[in-house]
Amino acid sequence: KNQVEQSPQSLIILEGKNCTLQCNYTVSPFSNLRWYKQDTGRGPVSLTIMTFSENTKSNGRYTATLDADTKQSSLHITASQLSDSASYICVVSERSQGNLIFGKGTKLSVKP
């Protein structure tokens, strides 16, 4: 069954610190993997998208990695800010129909 697992479920860090969120998937055939940021009560906003051949992509202080062999991805946030507090969702698209499989997200809280 196509699944996306994220860890940790929640994370609290101090402002200015770095953190890394994990995403493991069993989606096949794989098309692409996206990381989204979702503020409370809002729709998710895309941070990065990676296809099979890409293993790193950056968007400002966000850097995503993809290992298609082990089916793992990570999202690294550097020099965290209070505004980074949100849920981060990993989404994998399977290639046959383009269906999206969502992880349950990691809730990040950045404290001053």
For other proteins, the binding residues (CB under 8 A) are 6, 31-32, 34, 41-46, 49, 51, 87, 89, 91, 93, 95-105
Please, what is the minimum distance in Å from the beta carbon of residue 82 to other proteins? 20
| CA 53 to each of CA 24, 49, 67, 81: distance values in angstroms, whole numbers, following the listed order | 17, 12, 9, 31
State which residue, 11 or 78, has the beta carbon closest to other proteins: 11
Please, what is the minimum distance in Å from the beta carbon of residue 36 to other proteins? 8
Please, what is the minimum distance in Å from the beta carbon of residue 90 to other proteins? 10
Q: Half-sphere exposure of 97 toward its Cβ, with a 13 Å CA cutoff?
A: 4
Within a 10 A sphere around the Cβ of 18, how many other Cβ atoms?
A: 11
